């Protein structure tokens, strides 16, 4: 992967230099791809990342922001002054610039918008005004247009006129006098056609979407037709923006992740480790709430069916709460394992992040177990006689903790043993957590009630 | 989406024409994008699709094969003669051609390889010899190379020399005399640089992988570095193939789907509806087996904890089997809903396919319910006295059927009501199936045992 003759650089070398001097560490990044720089910085912690970032040129800073994951972006953007932001903004395409301003502190963003030229500021405000999940929310406003009477050579000249920006893969559209797209000119067509060919002969059919259309629908069009650039048009049909294949792929990947995690009742934030433990607990509580309600309902219905002679809590009273406890433990196990399986598949779990993620996922399990246990101890004590409430509460907390530990450790162990964690983590884990939940509950109940 | 002045064509118009004449229907496809053609043909059934396919030019046939989903591909390729295949093969890039031969009947494929020129045949055999899940298995062997002493103008000439193939986005690499990649020349760089610029100055750093590397790792590199083309090198480091951004995106999307469905214990085949009902049942039985074993283990452990005075099946004997039944029903519900949520998100559930998918998913549930019910009735009858085995069997079948019905209908209903099915389908469905499973089981058990 490194051209012959070049010295191999790695994250370890970078970290060693960082201990002595951020300046030397920043210079070590010369010639390292921005994608690698972003990954190395992500892994060294907020303060060190910010120190190195400050030593980079504005251009390198902008590149780094483009490749940084949400974690690192948040760390850097939160610390950037209006002056820093303004410099980086100049180097970014419009869609990235608008995103950057949206993530910055509102007051800092306003300072930046007041300081830059009013046309650019207006454009950025307009971009930010589109709903984030529409075509308008993800489009860039940079593109090149040529008239229908022009030739391939004119289109090439129009690209060269953009100077440095030309390298940014600006899409070239043929538009009529009202700015309505008539055709699209792929770079390869411009390269392979003689320069005197009329653009009307060289162009391919343009595919466009309305600016208010859902971002996922727009991205699916890019995928379906194998497009390099999708045109975004306003209500009058005039071209106002472009969605690149890269942007579309990112949207589709995000939506797929979201679906996966939502189905497990977790959130996308958990996957990238950017949410705090408390935030992640809060994200998952709604699902736990539904499970608690349906578990209590089960217990109630079962009691109605299986009325037992009422002196104290009997064996079948204990068993009526089994679905509740198994359900809660299963939820937590599936959430943790889903998050870990995806994090492993996406290479997010390499290096120092692995221990941090295992720790925080387990902590989330402890907190959820504690909350659910306490809640159920109270509620069940009101509904049932004797020590049953206490037994349900303790068993719930224990079963949830156990499921969280298995949900985090099984995928990691599978990966180390060379087994695909996706196959084992889902089904196998649910069974493991069902059995352990049953045993824990009944053991606790017996100890408390029939002791 | 349709340029002004062009008549709008749609799947309905196509189907109407098809009823009178496949030839007219085929001509109606003129000017329709291959992606739409593929979708329309997919939806008309195998025989009609094949009749229309026969009326198309060889070039259109090749385009259609490229855009067809696995379903339609299988239908068409199974019916193609060696002559048909040979014509289409000529129009396809090497990676698509190798895939096509791999999917064709072995004897037909051998006939084709014997008939085409021996160099191409040799190349296709070599491509087919790579493991399908490696970089070699997904690479194409078409690319353009220039020497380190050449200039941008030479690279452009090299592209034009490819004639029609040039439009296929062939990647341009700078290689040394041994064929080792020194740099990559994006089209945009070739367009924006003066023709007399040396390629060594214009090129960007090439990123490469070994031919035996895992396809997912290769695809992740494309994603991480935002590459247009990833070079594939042999053991000596010489460039032997190229993986495009499109191919990489396809690999990543496939791997994500696979993970999602595996975690639910289902298979990718189910999603695209290409597996028969029996095949899909077989795919899911291993998971059901694990669940049955862990459920029986739970029941056994619970019995050990909660020994009851032994005269016939008591209430707590019934309840000991609750985890088993809830677990099985939950599995089936999650599998069905996972498959439907993804099918909906990917737009696979439009038009006539929706009813077919709902029907076949429900049928899978019925078959699995029947198998599990029968098995458990037998096994539990051996383990327990009285009618308990029969009760467990009947309740299992009923609970699984109920879960399958909910798993298929809830996502579809959510979509119709404008609710994101991913949020509701997972967690909500498990709760629904837990409650319904409990009630069904206890009702059946009461009716049979205490009647």
CB A361 within 8 A of CB A404: yes
CB A140 within 8 A of CB A236: no
Closest residue of B to A344, CA-based?
B259
Write out pLDDT tens, residues B71-114: 788 889 989 988 899 999 888 888 888 888 888 888 888 999 99
The minimal CB distance from A316 to the residues B291, B294, B315 is found for B315
pLDDT of B1 strictly over 50 = no
> What DSSP letter does each residue of A66-101 carry, written as one string?
HH--HHHHHHHHHH--HHHHHHHHHHS-HHHHHHHH
Cβ–Cβ gap A422/B341 under 8 Å: no
Cβ–Cβ gap A438/B302 under 8 Å: yes
Residues A269, A273, A276: CA angle, nearest 5 degrees: 80
* DSSP-H helix ranges across A92-150: 94-103, 106-115, 118-129, 135-138
The minimal CB distance from B188 to the residues A166, A297, A427 is found for A166
Q: Helix B215-225 and helix B245-263: axis angle, to 10°?
A: 120
**Does ipTM surpass 0.85 in this model?**
no
Cβ–Cβ gap A316/B319 under 8 Å: yes
Q: What is the DSSP letter of B130?
A: S
Rounded CA separation B74/B69 (Å): 9
CB-CB neighbours of B155 under 10 Å: 27
User: Which of chain A's residues have a Cβ under 8 Å away from the Cβ of B65?
Assistant: none
Q: What is the DSSP letter of B238?
A: -
CB B331 within 8 A of CB B288: yes
CB-CB neighbours of B272 under 10 Å: 18
User: A251 burial class (0-12, 13-18, 19+ CB within 10 angstroms)?
Assistant: buried
Cβ–Cβ gap A347/B220 under 8 Å: yes
- For chain A, the domains span 11-132, 144-244, 264-449
Specify the pLDDT at position B333.
86
The CA distance from B212 to the nearest CA of chain A, in Å, is 14
The minimal CB distance from A192 to the residues B159, B320, B326 is found for B159
User: Which of chain A's residues have a Cβ under 8 Å away from the Cβ of B297?
Assistant: 435
Cβ–Cβ gap A191/B166 under 8 Å: yes
Residues A270, A276, A278: CA angle, nearest 5 degrees: 100
Cβ–Cβ gap B291/A430 under 8 Å: yes
CB B417 within 8 A of CB B426: no
Tell me the C-alpha to C-alpha distance, in Å, between residue A337 and each of A121, A413, A415, A439, B287.
45, 12, 12, 21, 17
- B260, B267, B309, best to mutate vs chain A, most A CBs in 10 Å: B260
What is the distance of C-alpha B299 from the center of its chain? 38
Write out pLDDT tens, residues A275-319: 677 888 887 887 788 888 888 888 888 887 766 554 445 677 778
Tell me the C-alpha to C-alpha distance, in Å, between residue A238 and each of A145, A174, B28, B227.
12, 12, 29, 31
Q: In this prediction, what percent of chain B has a pLDDT beyond 70?
A: 90
The CA distance from A108 to the nearest CA of chain B, in Å, is 30
Mean pLDDT, range B136-147, rounded to an integer: 92
CB B358 within 8 A of CB B408: yes
CB B233 within 8 A of CB B180: yes
Q: Which are the contacts of A280, defined by CB distance < 8 A and separation ≥ 6?
A: A266, A267, A269, A270, A360, A364
User: Which of chain B's residues have a Cβ under 8 Å away from the Cβ of A443?
Assistant: 305
The per-residue pLDDT string of chain A (451 residues; one tens digit each, 9 = 90 and over) reads: 444 344 578 888 898 888 888 888 888 988 888 999 998 898 888 888 999 999 999 999 999 998 998 878 888 998 998 889 999 998 888 888 998 888 888 888 899 999 888 888 988 888 888 988 899 999 998 899 999 999 999 999 999 888 766 556 789 999 999 999 999 999 989 998 899 999 999 999 999 999 999 999 999 999 888 888 999 999 999 999 999 988 898 888 888 777 777 777 776 666 655 567 788 888 788 778 888 888 888 888 888 776 655 444 567 777 888 888 888 888 888 888 888 887 887 777 766 677 778 888 888 889 999 999 999 999 999 888 878 889 899 999 999 999 999 988 888 888 888 887 877 666 778 788 888 888 888 888 888 876 5
Write out pLDDT tens, residues B372-426: 999 999 999 988 887 888 989 999 999 999 999 998 888 888 888 888 787 766 6
The minimal CB distance from A323 to the residues B265, B428, B438 is found for B438
Closest residue of A to B257, CA-based?
A256
CA trace torsion A69, A70, A72, A77 (10° rounding): 130
User: B20 burial class (0-12, 13-18, 19+ CB within 10 angstroms)?
Assistant: exposed
Domains A11-132 and A144-244 equal at CATH topology level: no
Q: Can you give the length of chain A in residues?
A: 451
Six token digits for residue A38: 């972003």
Cβ–Cβ gap B427/A191 under 8 Å: no
What are the two backbone dihedrals, phi and then psi, of residue B229, each rounded to the nearest 5 degrees?
-145, 135
Tell me the C-alpha to C-alpha distance, in Å, between residue B374 and each of B76, B219, B370.
40, 45, 6
Confidence of residue B261 (pLDDT cuts 50, 70, 90): confident
Confidence of residue B144 (pLDDT cuts 50, 70, 90): very high
Specify the pLDDT at position B311.
45
Cβ–Cβ gap A298/B438 under 8 Å: yes
Six token digits for residue B171: 């990647």
Specify the pLDDT at position B234.
94
Rounded CA separation A376/A374 (Å): 6
Cβ–Cβ gap B438/A306 under 8 Å: no
Q: Does domain A11-132 have CATH number 3.20.20.60?
A: no
Taking the model in full, what pTM does it have?
Answer: 0.79
User: B36 burial class (0-12, 13-18, 19+ CB within 10 angstroms)?
Assistant: middle
User: Which of chain B's residues have a Cβ under 8 Å away from the Cβ of A179?
Assistant: none
Six token digits for residue A302: 């079962």
User: Which of chain A's residues have a Cβ under 8 Å away from the Cβ of B446?
Assistant: 305-306
Q: Helix A427-449 and helix B322-345: axis angle, to 10°?
A: 150
| CATH fold of A144-244 | CBS-domain (3.10.580)
CATH architecture, domain B264-449: Orthogonal Bundle (1.10)
CATH number of B144-245: 3.10.580.10
Closest residue of B to A444, CA-based?
B305
Residue A378's SS3 state is helix
CB A64 within 8 A of CB A53: yes
pLDDT of B2 strictly over 90 = no
Q: Which are the contacts of A274, defined by CB distance < 8 A and separation ≥ 6?
A: A70, A71, A74
Strands, E, within B309-440: which ranges? none
Tell me the C-alpha to C-alpha distance, in Å, between residue A118 and each of A121, A130, A365.
5, 19, 50
CB B230 within 8 A of CB B218: yes
| Cβ–Cβ pairs < 8 A, chains A and B | 246
User: Which of chain A's residues have a Cβ under 8 Å away from the Cβ of B160?
Assistant: 191-192
Choice between B271 and A216, residue whose per-residue pLDDT is larger: A216
Closest residue of A to B182, CA-based?
A3
What is the distance of C-alpha B58 from the center of its chain? 26
Cβ–Cβ gap A263/B166 under 8 Å: no
> Smallest Cα–Cα separation from B136: which of B258, B256, B236, B243?
B243
Rounded CA separation B396/A370 (Å): 33
Q: Can you give the length of chain B in residues?
A: 451
Rounded CA separation B300/B304 (Å): 6
Cβ–Cβ gap B259/A302 under 8 Å: no
Query: On the CB side of A157, how many CA atoms lie within 13 Å of its CA?
Result: 10
Write out pLDDT tens, residues A47-63: 889 999 999 999 999 99
User: Which of chain B's residues have a Cβ under 8 Å away from the Cβ of A169?
Assistant: 188
Six token digits for residue B267: 């298979």
CB-CB neighbours of B414 under 10 Å: 21
């Amino acid at each position: 992967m490194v051209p012959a003759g070049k010295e191999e650089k790695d994250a370890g070398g970078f970290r060693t230099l960082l201990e002595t001097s951020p300046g030397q560490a920043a210079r070590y990044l010369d010639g390292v791809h921005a994608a690698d720089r972003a990954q190395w910085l992500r892994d060294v912690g907020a303060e060190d990342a910010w120190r190195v970032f400050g030593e980079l040129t504005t251009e390198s800073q902008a590149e780094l922001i483009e490749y940084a994951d949400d974690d690192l972006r948040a760390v850097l953007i939160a610390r950037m002054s209006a002056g820093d932001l303004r410099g980086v903004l100049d180097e970014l395409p419009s869609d990235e610039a608008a995103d950057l301003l949206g993530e910055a502190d509102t007051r800092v963003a306003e300072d930046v918008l007041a300081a830059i030229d009013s046309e650019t500021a207006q454009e950025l405000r307009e971009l930010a005004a589109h709903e984030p999940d529409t075509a308008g929310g993800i489009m860039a406003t940079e593109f090149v247009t040529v008239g229908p009477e022009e030739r391939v050579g004119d289109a090439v000249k129009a690209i060269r006129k953009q100077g440095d920006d030309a390298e940014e893969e600006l899409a070239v559209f043929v538009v009529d006098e009202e700015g309505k797209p008539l055709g699209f000119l792929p770079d390869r067509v411009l390269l392979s056609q003689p320069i005197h060919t009329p653009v009307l002969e060289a162009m391919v059919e343009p595919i466009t979407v309305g600016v208010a259309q859902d971002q996922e629908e727009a991205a699916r069009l890019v995928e379906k037709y194998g497009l390099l650039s999708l045109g975004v048009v306003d209500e009058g049909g005039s071209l106002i923006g472009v969605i690149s294949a890269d942007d579309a792929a990112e949207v589709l990947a995000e939506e797929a992740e979201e679906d996966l995690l939502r189905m497990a009742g977790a959130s996308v934030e958990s996957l990238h480790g950017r949410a705090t433990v408390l935030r992640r607990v809060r994200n998952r509580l709604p699902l736990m709430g539904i499970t608690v309600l349906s578990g209590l309902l089960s217990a109630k219905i079962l009691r109605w069916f299986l009325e037992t002679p009422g002196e104290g809590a009997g064996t079948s009273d204990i068993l009526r709460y089994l679905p509740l406890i198994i359900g809660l433990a299963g939820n937590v196990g599936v959430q943790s394992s889903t998050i870990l399986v995806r994090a492993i598949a996406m290479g997010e779990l390499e290096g120092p992040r692995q221990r941090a993620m295992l720790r925080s996922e387990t902590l989330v399990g402890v907190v959820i177990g504690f909350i659910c246990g306490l809640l159920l101890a109270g509620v069940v004590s009101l509904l049932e006689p004797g020590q049953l409430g206490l037994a349900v509460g303790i068993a719930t907390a224990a079963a949830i903790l156990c499921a969280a530990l298995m949900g985090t450790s099984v995928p990691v162990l599978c990966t180390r043993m060379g087994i695909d964690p996706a196959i084992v983590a889902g089904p196998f884990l649910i069974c493991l957590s069902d059995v352990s939940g049953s045993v824990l509950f009944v053991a606790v109940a017996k100890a408390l009630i029939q002791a």
